[in-house]
Chains A and B, each alone.
Chain A
Amino acid sequence: GENVEQHPSTLSVQEGDSAVIKCTYSDSASNYFPWYKQELGKRPQLIIDIRSNVGEKKDQRIAVTLNKTAKHFSLHITETQPEDSAVYFCAARGSNYKLTFGKGTLLTVNP
């Protein structure tokens, strides 16, 4: 089955800096890669996603890149703000409908 590795497990940045979270996956048939943000005590919420026919997608301060050959994808947050502090999860969906999640990255943005 699919295996998703996510790094780092914790990330601390200063406000205004950029943050990058990386994930690798094992199933070459995976074709959908969402990123979820989960604030403390709240539900995971989709913040951006990318499909396998696209290499990069951007939404304001958030961007995701996908390298299908290397089977890795990354989340980039620019100009970080304290409200970006949360746990971020990557996921990959293989040839079936199942989403396999990474273990999460705790991002702390220090003011």
Chain B
Amino acid sequence: ETGVTQTPRHLVMGMTNKKSLKCEQHLGHNAMYWYKQSAKKPLELMFVYSLEERVENNSVPSRFSPECPNSSHLFLHLHTLQPEDSALYLCASSQGDLRTYEQYFGPGTRLTVT
């Protein structure tokens, strides 16, 4: 797939594990986002990076730690997660002014915390 890619696509981890989700965009965009998608709930914005600088941390627990080393890559580091953190984690990217351009989503990582 091109555009926005995410790895891994599926992840099962125990509550004491440490893992990382990776997102890469091939669109030349300068903003990247992490969303959480849980069953029967709206998409929840977690983090926003613009020009590699975090501009939003939407009251997300510290067990989720984002990293944006450059405008093409975004990571979400996970540690000591809870079962309620099981969800689809979607990465998105956009170009230009954050207020005016559409967001392109990746395929997501299906996370299961056991």
Contacts and interface: CB of A to CB of B under 8 A. Distances in A.
Given A32-B100, A34-B102, 16 more contacts: A4-B42, A31-B99, A32-B99, A43-B4, A43-B105, A44-B105, A46-B102, A46-B103, A46-B104, A89-B42, A98-B45, A99-B43, A99-B45, A101-B43, A103-B42, A104-B42
A91 B106 CA distance: 17
Interface in A15-41: 31-32, 34, 36
Given A42-B107, A43-B107, A101 B102 contact: no
Chain B interface residue number, banded: 20 to 34
Contacts of A49: 102
Nearest to B50: A97
A85 B18 CA distance: 37
A96 interface: yes
B90 A44 contact: yes
Interface residues of A, number: 23
Interface of B: 4, 40-43, 45, 48, 55-56, 58, 90, 97-100, 102-108
Counting chain B CB atoms within 10 Å of each CB, the highest count among A44, A93, A97, A99 belongs to A97
A12 interface: no
B43 A43 contact: no
Contacts of A97: 48, 55, 97-99
Given A32-B100, A43-B108, A98 B43 contact: no
Contacts of A45: 105
Interface string A79-111: 000000000010101001111111110000000
B30 to A, nearest CB: 12
Contacts of B48: 97-98
A97 B108 CA distance: 21
A10 to B, nearest CB: 11
Contacts of B102: 34, 46, 49
